[in-house]
Structure 1
Amino acid sequence: MMHRMLAVVFLAAARAQNCEDGQTCSPQHVSPNDMGILMQMKSGSASVSHAHAHANSSSIGTYVEQVVNKVTALGGSHQGNVELAKEEVRKLALQLAADPNYTVFNMSQSGMQQAFQRIIDEMEEVINDTLVSLDKDHKEFDIMIANIRKCGLNLAASNVSVTEMSPAVMQLGLNHDVCRNVSVALRDANHSAQVNYYGHMTNANIPDCAQNFAPGTCPATQDYSLEAFYDNAIACAASVDAWAGPFHTTATSLRSTHEAAERAVIAKYQECDQAQLTYELGFCTYRTELIDACSALDNCYSSAVDVFQKTKELILKSNTSRHVAFIAARQVQCYVRVLQTDNLTMAAIEACDFTKVDTSPLKLTVPSVPGKPACDVSLVAQHPCGAAWVAKHYQDSSKYWVAQKMNHRTCMPCLDQGGTLQIDQILPILESARPEEAGNSFA
């Protein structure tokens, strides 16, 4: 009878720990048959041949009943149940080890072995549960680390140059400088063509006699309208004819050269102005993309790391509880195996107390937080059309076209954060559109 009662105690202790975390365990009731045994023990109706043994068994029965009530009433966390069950089982083992009647039973041959084994198996399930929980926490870490790294992957997927100036934008700036450099040569070529053309036209070297064809308009020495000077007029006409042909040919050629040079330099000025505008718009677009990309990275990274740190704290607490449950379950198994023997001793119980449980299977690997990818918004701290920007890109005399006094069009500023231009940025643009603004000289 005592053996069956102990089986009920151990089964109740094992069942009590099976509650899920955060739930309240309902007491696990023993079977009517087992409860009947307990009631018989409590009422003293069990028959024992020796009066002292009867009294002692009744005392043990009362204690066992108390253990049953405690273990079956356990509630709260999964780990707490196992720890409390361990304490109750240990107390019971100590109580029975001190009872001289208990040691006379042949435990290895009793009907309690199956119940003992069930307790051991159920404790093994608790141990397996802790290992499953550990695996889930490791997977949770993997997911959180992947989410942190995803911030960098999203940044890379944006195709925005975040650690150095955009090569595409730099190429636009180079295109503008090259265009302005070429315009210097075209400007100088146009100037030379203009000088040659104007010089030819202002120094025509018309034969002096030609003035005699229109008396009164020049200080004519002869009046070719008079018959006396007809021969002279014919001779003069021959001189004028010899002069006019080459003069006309040269003049038209110089004029064509000048006009072509002027068209070329005007077209180049317009091309360079467009290249400048394209450069400024390209830079402003890149600036917006870079600021947006870095802002998105900041938000993503800080949020993902915050989730990691908060979840890490919970996992570390869970890991502590896992160790408590794991060790308690191993010790319950140890106490039960001691109770299974035919010679229950205090030394055997103390061996369970002081044997170090191997918790290496519960080793929790906490990953390091990946570093935040670089994203440098200082690359666009200077932008169109700030004073520093203009000085660097349009007033640097180390640039050939700047040293050659080539002008640039009025700068087009980037939009402000609200997506609009400021009044002090619009006025210079309007001023540059006025017809009276000279701009680059074609000559």
Structure 2
Amino acid sequence: MSERHAALNTDLYELTMSAGYFFSKKNTIATFELFFRNLPDNRQYLVFSGLKRIVEYLLSLRFTGDEIAYIREHDAFRHIDESFFEYLKKVSFTGTLRSVPEGTIVFDTEPVIQVTAPIIEAQLIETYLLASVHIETLVASKAARVVDAAYPAPVLEFGSRRAHGTEAAVLAARAAYIAGCAGTSNVKAGMEFGIPTYGTMAHAWVEAFDEESDSFETYHKLFPHKTIFIVDTYDVPAAIEKIIRMGKRIDGVRIDSGDPLETSRAVRAQLDSAGLTDIKIFASGNLDEYKIRELVSRSAPVDGYGVGTQMVTSADCPSLNVVYKLVQVTEPDGTEKPCFKMSSGKKLYPGKKQVYRISEGDKFTKDYVCRDTELVPKSGKSLLETYIEHGKPVRDIPRESITRQYVMDQKKQFDAALFDFPSSYKYHVEVSDGLEKEYLALREKMMADN
């Protein structure tokens, strides 16, 4: 997705700190790590998404003349020397980006993105990285639950009109597809990301005709190969009777209101009695994983679901505690200094890290977080991979369909209890003894010095 003024998609303090670094620490190399500080009470896991957008942003990062002029005229920069603005003309991302693959099931504490770059570059990108990971991971994690609840029936993402803006709608469609949705109603997402697109008809189509049957006939004439009628504009049994009398082959009917359990049962019985057993029933209308699970548990004859508002807004969990923190600096003389925090409730482990996913047999048993210089644990697979090195791409982002399959494949390797809801099951994330000891030593030294 192309974005105008992407370099200014940042918070003001990223720019003021950048000016400060320019005059004091311009040649310092910094490592930041992005991670989820904790998981919400109603999430046992998250589905990481947003990497593709981040890679595209970093590879194209530049300040335009208009953007630099805007910064120069900002009141906060009234005393800043012209040399800083000359520097901004040359800014690009020259660092290294490591990340877990998009679609990876992740947990709290463990870094999912690691950036090592000149400190100004690493600082400037904080807001963009956080916002990109937040929106897509939020929706992907919700969508994964909805897909599990509906299985084996397909789920379509229908939420564009309720997303937080049109850009968010496209990103949400992508994230939902990666997490397992069969497709989306968003046409732009379909074009940009190769996501299958689906649509039926709105109540407005039916209302625009004097007779409901005329709306059905006209639509079928135009789209005979892909016909799904919405049947709850007026009276559901009457609409089904009109479809029966038409005598035309259609793919399905959609129910968008009322009690989807009782309505779907009645519709199925009415269609079957007319010999139309191949017509599918789709349900939509403020559905979520809880309502869908209830329908499935009661054997509702629903063949597919359209989920919108609840998914693209992640209504039961509208935000994630995702952070981007400085963990190490390397001074021009080569001296490496681990960075950490002692803030209450915001513990930050120092230094560059790696995350290993440990297996026993064909099942994942725990994740292991350690310094990237520590010995690799047996049966451990490293999760952080390099996507950009010294400003150049070194690893491709897979197509969305491949990432979607990756998500589904991972689910088979975790304990099934992880995907129950509600659930008391907690996947184990272990911090290495070496990392814990380093943190404690730095904290003891800090307290002694103060």
Query: Max radius of gyration: which structure?
Result: 1
More strand by share: 2
Q: Shared fold (TM-score greater than 0.5)?
A: no
More helix by share: 1
TM (norm. structure 1) is: 0.17
Greater relative contact order: 1 or 2 (C-alpha under 8 angstroms, separation 6 or more)? Answer: 1
